[in-house]
Structure 1
Amino acid sequence: MAQKVLISVVGPTAIGKTKLAIALAQHFEAQILSADSRQFYMEMQIGTAVPSKEELITVPHHFIQHKSIHDTYSVGDFERDALKVLEQLFQVGDTAIMVGGSGFYSDAVVYGLDHFPETAAGVRDNLNERYRADGIEVLQNQLKELDPEYYESVDLNNPHRLVRALEVCISSGRPYSSFLNLPKIPRPFKCVTVGITAEREIIYDRINLRVDKMMKEGLLNEVKALVAYKDKNALQTVGYRELFRYLDGSIDLDFAVEEIKKNSRRFAKRQLTWLKKNNEILWVDYQDDLETIVVQIEARLK
C-alpha cells in the first residue's frame, strides 16, 4: 500500500500560503484542507483573506466558509472532521494538502490535541465576568504572571483563548503550557510541514499591503453588516475588532486601519514564535519556486 502523506503549509499571515498550497495540490493531484480558523465562517470573507472564487475552482477545498458565526465550532470539532475528510481522500489518492495560519488547528490534525485536567466549577464564569467588567488587559496580565511561556505565543487579543488558558492554570495550579506537546497517538499518515518565511521587514510590508487591499475591497462594509453580532467569538479577531471600535465612535478610521496593521504584525510575530518551536518544519523562502520546494519535500519523505 502506498504511503499516505499530508503536506501542511504554514507560516505568518500574508506570506503566500494559499498560493503555495494550490501549486502543491496541482503538482500532487491533491485536495486542500483549510486549517485557518478565521476562514471557517461564511459571513467573513474579505477580512479573513478567503481564497478567491478562481482559486477555489482550481483545486477542491474543504473547511472554507462551512460554518456560521452563530455556530460553535472548536478545535476538537475540526480535528475530528479533518481526520474524517483525510480518511476519505486517502482512499482515492496518496497525498493531501493542509494550509492555514492557525497553528493550534494545524497541530491538532498532525499531532492530536493535548489533554487537559478537569477545571473547577465557576472559574470560567468568573473570568468571563472579569473580562466583561475590566477588559482584556486584566486577562493578559494574569496570564503573563501564571504562564509566561504561553503568553508569548497565544493570540493576546482573543479572550476565548485567554480565558481557557487561565481556567486551566487556576484549576490545576500548573501553567497551561505544561499540558502542551505531550506524547500523542501516532497518525496513520506521514506529514511534512512546510513553513514559508521571509525577512521580518518583508513580512510586515506584505501585511500592510494586504490590509490596504482589504479596505479597498470593502472590508468596512463587511464589518458594518456584522455589527449586531460583534460579541460573537468568531468576530473577536484582527480586522473586525478594530473597525467595530471605529463604528462605535471610539477611534477614527485612519487610526483603526493602522491598528489593524499593527495587530496583524503582532499576530504574525506570535505565529512565528509558535512555529519556531517545531523542529520538524521544513522552512522555505517565500520566493522559492515550486520545483525547489517539491524536491525538498520528496527528500524529507525519503
Structure 2
Amino acid sequence: MVKTPSNFTIAIVGPTAIGKTALSIKLAQHYNAEIISADSRQFYKEMTIGTAVPSTKELSEAKHHFIQNKSIKDTFTVGDFEREAISKIKELHKDHTFTVMVGGSGLYVKAVTNGLDYFPEVDPNIRTELNNRFETEGLHSLQQQLELLDVETYNTIAIDNPKRVIRALEICIGTDKTYSSFLTRPEKHRDFKTIAIGLNAERSIIYDRINQRVDIMVANGLLDEAKRLLPFKDLNALNTVGYKELFQYLEGHITLDFAISEIKKNTRRFAKRQLTWFRKDESLKWFDYETDLSTIIAYIDQQI
C-alpha cells in the first residue's frame, strides 16, 4: 500500500512573461515555503537580463533555489536537475510542509514531478550522421525531417535548438518509433503530492507582455550582456532566444532593430510551444493570469 504523501509541491507553469514569478512568491509567503526554480535559462550566473532572473527585491521576498547556481561552462543536464531538485525538496520538506516550484521549462518540471522518460539505446553512428548533416545542410533540413517523422515533437520541443532536434531524430530513426511515443512511461513515486497550476491569458495579451518584456530587457542593458557573452556563444547554455539574435547583430549579420524584432518573434514562438507542452498535462488547473490570489489559494487548499 502506497503511503499518502503529507508534503506538497505547488508547481506553477505557463508561458513566458505571464506572471509566474510574482505568483510563486505570494504562494511561498502564504504557505511558508521556499521556491525551486525550474527555469533552465535561469540556472546560469552569467545570464541575468536575458533570462528574466527574479529581481533582488523578489529574491529577498522568498528563499529561492537553482537561481544562477551554475556557470555557462558547466554541463548541467535535466537529469542532473532532477537529482539535485529532488534532494533539495526532500531537505526542505523536513521543516516545511510545502515547496513551490516555478518555471516555464516543461521538461524540467516534469522531471521533478513525474521523473524522466526512458529512451532505448540507439546506434551512435546515427547521431554522428545527423551532426554531419547539421554542419553541411544546416538545421532547417533536420527540422523538416523531424516534422515528417514526429510532428508532435516538432511542435513541442525547442525546435531552434540543434541538440534537441538531433536527439529527437536519432530516436525516431534508431527505433522506427516517434520520440513522443516514449513520453508515456509510468510516473516515478515521489514523497510529495504535486498540485499543478497553470497561468494563461488570451494569446494577444501574452504576445503584448512578451514584447514589453523584451523592450524592458533591452532598456536594462541586454545588448551589453550579450557583448560580454559573445566569446562563449558556442556554449549550449547560450543557444537560446535573446542572446543568439544579438550575437548575429554583434557579428554584423543583421541590424539591431531586426535582432530585437527576432527576439520578440522567437519568444512568442517559444511561448506557443510552452503552452502546447503544458496543455497535454491533464492534472493542470488553469487560471487566468489576473485571477485573484484568494481563488488560487482556495483551489490549493481544496486539493490538500
TM-score bucket (shorter structure): over 0.9
Structure 1 match to 2:302:
299
Matches within 5 A, 1:1-302: 3-301=6-304
Report sequence identity in percent: 55
SS at 1:46 equivalent: coil
Structure 1 gaps of 5+ residues are none
TM-score for the superposition, normalised by structure 1:
0.98
> Hey, what's the Cα distance between the residues in 1 that align with 2:223 and 2:135?
25
> Hey, what's the Cα distance between the residues in 2 that align with 1:77 and 1:268?
25
SS at 2:94 equivalent: helix
> Hey, what's the Cα distance between the residues in 2 that align with 1:293 and 1:106?
20
> Hey, what's the Cα distance between the residues in 1 that align with 2:125 and 2:72?
26
> Per-residue deviation at 1:184?
2.2
> How big is each residue's C-alpha offset from its partner over 1:23-57, in whole Å with a ceiling of 9 and x where there is no partner?
00000000000000000111111000000111111
> Per-residue deviation at 1:296?
1.0
> How big is each residue's C-alpha offset from its partner over 1:221-275, in whole Å with a ceiling of 9 and x where there is no partner?
1001111111111111100111111111111000110000000001000100011
> Per-residue deviation at 1:10?
0.2
> Any conservation in 2 of the 1:40–1:64 contact (CA below 8 Å)?
yes
> Per-residue deviation at 1:2?
7.5
> Per-residue deviation at 1:122?
2.0
> Hey, what's the Cα distance between the residues in 1 that align with 2:173 and 2:64?
40
SS at 1:40 equivalent: coil
> How big is each residue's C-alpha offset from its partner over 1:196-240, in whole Å with a ceiling of 9 and x where there is no partner?
011110000000000000000000010011111111111111001
> Hey, what's the Cα distance between the residues in 1 that align with 2:84 and 2:170?
26
> How big is each residue's C-alpha offset from its partner over 1:170-201, in whole Å with a ceiling of 9 and x where there is no partner?
11111100100221222111001110011110
> Per-residue deviation at 1:133?
2.3
> Hey, what's the Cα distance between the residues in 2 that align with 1:122 and 1:298?
52
> Any conservation in 2 of the 1:2–1:94 contact (CA below 8 Å)?
no
> Hey, what's the Cα distance between the residues in 1 that align with 2:84 and 2:5?
23
TM-score for the superposition, normalised by structure 2:
0.97
Structure 2 gaps of 5+ residues are none
User: Which stretch of structure 1 is more off in the superposition, 1-10 or 231-240?
Assistant: 1-10
Structure 1 segments of 4+ aligned residues over 4 angstroms from their partners = none
> Any conservation in 1 of the 2:207–2:268 contact (CA below 8 Å)?
yes
Which amino acid counterpart does residue 13 of structure 2 have in structure 1? Answer: V
> Any conservation in 1 of the 2:5–2:192 contact (CA below 8 Å)?
no
